[in-house]
Structure 1
């Protein structure tokens, strides 16, 4: 009798555990999305790396309450083979207990993106970093590396990019878009010139690896007035000094970049804090531009607020055939851990992109 009771208890526990795990066969934008442990995925402001047939999702680990908007844990990692169901791989980069560290517990660590460097065999993580207790004044880029996709990542350093460097100007750049620090003509130019000696501000960001293996760091700079597209060095852990400015003076955040059929596309947002606004998209024939602004890619009801979300990444699923997923965060600043994820298919038609809301959809 005792053995039977123990067996039944084990079976009941196992069935309960299985029941707590959700198996998905479709995307449900904006709803709770549970991992293999039955817990809402905790990878906000994130991005995805595909390596050897496995997708790795990296994002900010949030906690409940207002303190959750600072980094109390680090960067969380999940893995998946089908994009619907995600396995918790733990914390890929932990914040430090050392209060003198750039990534001390309580700092602001946002929008982590991981890329793989074929030459070095290293996984490289970039993120927006604000020093503990300093608000948003530091505006630094941080970098960490790992031998494994899931980590642990080792923090290297943080800094402001391209100190003392002037922008690269694509052929055809109008003279009024070329910065003149002797006589800045706009607020944005003024911020650029102010920061020139010590490096440019780097806030909302992403990283993009091109077909030739060159990598680029795209970030909001100049008090968020202007985007920078900056080339990374061969090992992806620093900047070369070559960069260009995009959509000068128009306050763009949350850049997400992808490439299809020889054209570069970028989706971003305006600057309204945690509140959603209309998305915006750009295109270019060169990663350094010139970039052309095209307006809002979202269509239909809710499009004026990006369906309540803000861009974070565009995931190539089948890029050769134009299959990409737009990833956005639906922020919950009062209880950050409850932030939701909005994933929607990107439609590409004659070089133009559009995104429409779907309550439920599949990769088919």
Structure 2
């Protein structure tokens, strides 16, 4: 199926741009539906350092066109979210009993040795949230790092933690009231939950630092269990289509509920510009949950796969030498770049130039690395002025690389940038 030029499609694994043309910067995210709009909350990341800047909020009516609202919780003067601290995995729920919007997050120091679950709140969904410190449990601050949240149909709120612990929140969502599940996913992180026809599902990734891995899930007839391991979400070796789960959103399409898997493609250290997103419909059959076949692009209006419509032209380029570049001419308002990512891929810079004056209209760093090889869309531009333009792809000679706390190395083995074609999207 080919989408019409004006059809709003979710395009996976490429940078997304907000209505101001800036990258959508909201990682480890969640979505809250409120007042006929979707609100995306996430970590506002930097390319320069791994520390808490703030949590961002974007709004959309179609899950594709995102408007930046504000940094809803900025760095604090001190304390758990003060300078040189971490703030991750932000999740927001509207408390039914109070009407307030409650925010939860992992707070830590930069050595990951001072981990606590934090709490903030606000009267309006996109206002500036007030940070309250650590979430209490049994009169003491609750420790924890990777976390998620889940709101059941009756309004009960739950906090999901690494290793498979689940806490029921108080009626006003201000503290954890009861630990209802303990340790059902040893070694699991980045938890997410959904329910379908009376069955509950818990999603986790394995611990591989910023690297992607084969995420897995469990199911149970009730949140309290018993929980049964069910296997992988996606085909083995696909590394969950090169992503890590962060949240599941219930979409209502033609009277039916479609569960939307939301995942991150981290890109350390260039998280602010080069990290991307993988959002895919989940398929549920009894106690089986799967991502099925990977959808490079699809319509959130229908839930069906749809290709970007345009005219393709070759752009055969492969180089790991800094400064080597390839160009192609196009005339449409948007352009896409198709290429390969693999273990030897690095960072490339994609630039859009005015075809007459040579002025740079847009420039972004793009990640061509993935541990599981992939051929497909690497970049789709924001809307551009009319007229003749040039898309230029340049090898930077740099690549993603990082080390975990045990000094194990992760990341690319080289700095190749590989493209095969461009698509003039008209």
| Shorter-chain TM-score tier | 0.7 to 0.9
Q: Does 1:130 align with 2:111?
A: no
Q: Answer with 325-334 or 239-248: which moved more.
A: 239-248
Shift of 1:24: 6.4
Give per-residue Cα distances to partners, 1:136-183, cap 9 Å, x unaligned.
111200000001101200001115x6459xxxxxxxxxxxxxxxxxxx
Give per-residue Cα distances to partners, 1:293-322, cap 9 Å, x unaligned.
11101137x52x112110000111028734
Q: Does 1:145 align with 2:87?
A: no
The answer on whether the counterparts of 2:165 and 2:184 sit within 8 Å (CA) in structure 1 is no
Structure with greater proportional helix content:
1
Q: Does 1:210 align with 2:177?
A: no
What are the equivalent positions in structure 2 for 1:196-207 lying under 5 Å apart? 201-207=143-149
Question: Could you say what secondary structure the match of 1:235 adopts?
Answer: coil
RMSD (Å) for aligned C-alpha atoms? 2.0
Question: Could you say what secondary structure the match of 1:217 adopts?
Answer: strand
Q: Distance in 1 between matches of 2:153 and 2:233?
A: 25
Shift in CA distance, 23/32, structure 1 to aligned 2, threshold 3 Å: farther
Question: Could you say what secondary structure the match of 1:40 adopts?
Answer: coil
Partner of residue 243 from structure 2, selected from 285, 295, 309? 309
User: How many equivalent pairs are there?
Assistant: 294
Q: Distance in 2 between matches of 1:268 and 1:235?
A: 27
Question: Could you say what secondary structure the match of 1:55 adopts?
Answer: strand
Q: Does 1:109 align with 2:109?
A: no
Instruction: Identify the residue that residue 231 of structure 1 maps to in structure 2.
Output: 168
Instruction: Identify the residue that residue 51 of structure 2 maps to in structure 1.
Output: 70
Q: Distance in 1 between matches of 2:269 and 2:7?
A: 28
Shift of 1:346: 0.4
Shift of 1:23: 7.4
The answer on whether the counterparts of 1:24 and 1:85 sit within 8 Å (CA) in structure 2 is no
Q: Please list every run of 5 or more consecutive structure 2 residues that lacks an aligned counterpart in the other structure.
A: 303-426
Q: Does 1:28 align with 2:11?
A: yes
The answer on whether the counterparts of 1:279 and 1:298 sit within 8 Å (CA) in structure 2 is yes
TM (norm. structure 2) is 0.66
Q: Please list every run of 5 or more consecutive structure 1 residues that lacks an aligned counterpart in the other structure.
A: 1-21, 165-197, 221-225
Instruction: Identify the residue that residue 131 of structure 2 maps to in structure 1.
Output: 155
Question: Could you say what secondary structure the match of 1:102 adopts?
Answer: helix
Instruction: Identify the residue that residue 28 of structure 2 maps to in structure 1.
Output: 45
Q: Distance in 1 between matches of 2:54 and 2:156?
A: 27
Partner of residue 259 from structure 2, selected from 324, 343, 359? 324
Give per-residue Cα distances to partners, 1:241-276, cap 9 Å, x unaligned.
33321425x300011111111111121111111111
The answer on whether the counterparts of 1:56 and 1:77 sit within 8 Å (CA) in structure 2 is yes
Q: Distance in 1 between matches of 2:297 and 2:159?
A: 33
TM (norm. structure 1) is 0.77
